[in-house]
């Protein structure tokens, strides 16, 4: 039974009056204060890390090729889009190295695409754990994003190898190191998306059915597989495109890897503002629903 918020202080004072240590006790089904919530998250950092590592190691264990799919899946996606847009639709005009262009866009967008598509199901897929153990539920989206980052290490290695090997060959440059801070900002953006959609998907399960459409729309509208700005000359549309964080992060990867240059300050500001802003808003939105995530009625 959940304790009423007004009776909790009385119960704790009664226990302390009897000489008992009640400092670590708290009510079930009541959202903790933000400071306590963050403290509990930090205390469970080892659990989050181990859970992430275990799930990455076992996620493809039922497949014959196992974790080789972490490499094959993005490769097949990149090959398919190159065939459609580079060969059939001839969308490569004006792009010197379209193979590298589309490989970078498709492979690096996959990280954000996973957050969009999997975010709404995070809480429901871990329902048994939520009801069996007491822990900050924010650990679940965080664990999911750590798993994604681990997978992306392999994806990035494959991507770099491909753009070096395939004509026109891109050779390693100092600016390639910039993929580390760019991906750090992308991970913050992804985590904010996961927090936001995790609660929305818990309240409205049907949202999960729309995520594939949203992800596909963002892919086509963010210049992932073809230069979207080429089709919109109006300044209003151009401003909307440049304010899109996914457009900016894909653009930044290409500038660093293909042009050997440092992305312009505007791109860092736009991506950084979206990443930090969405992380804060998403986390607060998720935290406000903390008390409902173990509800037996859902």
Q: What is the pLDDT of residue 88?
A: 61
Q: What is the pLDDT of residue 139?
A: 93
Q: What is the pLDDT of residue 176?
A: 97
Q: What is the DSSP letter of 244?
A: -
Q: What is the pLDDT of residue 286?
A: 96
Q: pLDDT (tens digit, 9 = 90+) per residue, 58-116?
A: 765 555 555 677 777 777 877 777 777 666 656 566 678 888 898 899 889 989 999 99
Q: How far apart are CA 236 and CA 228, in angstroms?
A: 14
Ranges in the chain, pLDDT < 70:
1-30, 59-67, 85-94, 295-298
How many residues in total does the chain contain?
Answer: 298
Q: What is the pLDDT of residue 2?
A: 47
Q: What is the pLDDT of residue 221?
A: 87
b/e per residue 58-88 (b: at least 16 CB within 10 A) = eeeeeeeeebeebeeebbebbeebbeebbee
The answer, yes or no, to whether the previous bond of 168 is cis (omega within 30 of 0) is yes
- Single out the residue of 212, 187, 216 nearest to residue 282, CA to CA: 187
- For residue 219, the surrounding DSSP H or E stretch is helix 211-221
Half-sphere exposure (CA, 13 Å, Cβ side) for 177?
2
Q: What is the pLDDT of residue 193?
A: 96
């Amino acid at each position: 039974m959940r304790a009423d918020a007004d009776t909790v202080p009385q119960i704790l004072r009664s226990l302390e009056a009897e000489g008992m240590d009640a400092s670590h006790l708290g009510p079930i089904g009541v959202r903790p204060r933000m400071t306590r919530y963050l403290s509990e998250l930090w205390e469970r950092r080892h659990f989050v890390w181990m859970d992430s590592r275990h799930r990455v190691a076992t996620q493809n264990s039922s497949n014959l090729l196992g974790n080789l799919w972490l490499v094959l899946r993005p490769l097949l996606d990149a090959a398919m889009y190159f065939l459609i847009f580079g060969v059939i639709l001839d969308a490569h005009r004006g792009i010197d190295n379209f193979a590298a262009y589309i490989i970078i866009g498709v492979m690096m967008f996959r990280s954000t695409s996973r957050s969009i598509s999997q975010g709404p199901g995070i809480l429901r897929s871990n329902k048994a754990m939520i009801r069996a153990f007491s822990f900050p539920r924010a650990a679940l989206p965080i664990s999911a994003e750590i798993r994604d980052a681990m997978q992306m290490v392999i994806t990035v290695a494959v991507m770099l190898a491909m753009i070096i090997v395939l004509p026109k060959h891109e050779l390693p440059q100092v600016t390639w190191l910039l993929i580390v801070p760019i991906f750090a900002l992308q991970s913050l953006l992804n985590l904010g998306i996961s927090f936001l959609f995790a609660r929305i998907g818990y309240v409205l399960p049907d949202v999960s059915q729309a995520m594939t459409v949203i992800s596909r729309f963002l892919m086509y509208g963010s210049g992932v597989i073809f230069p979207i700005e080429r089709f919109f000359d109006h300044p209003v549309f151009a401003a909307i495109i440049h304010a899109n964080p996914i457009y900016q992060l894909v653009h930044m990867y290409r500038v660093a890897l293909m042009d050997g240059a440092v992305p312009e300050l505007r791109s860092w500001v736009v991506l950084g503002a979206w990443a930090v802003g969405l992380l804060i808003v998403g986390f607060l939105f998720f935290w406000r629903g903390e008390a409902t995530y173990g509800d037996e009625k859902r």
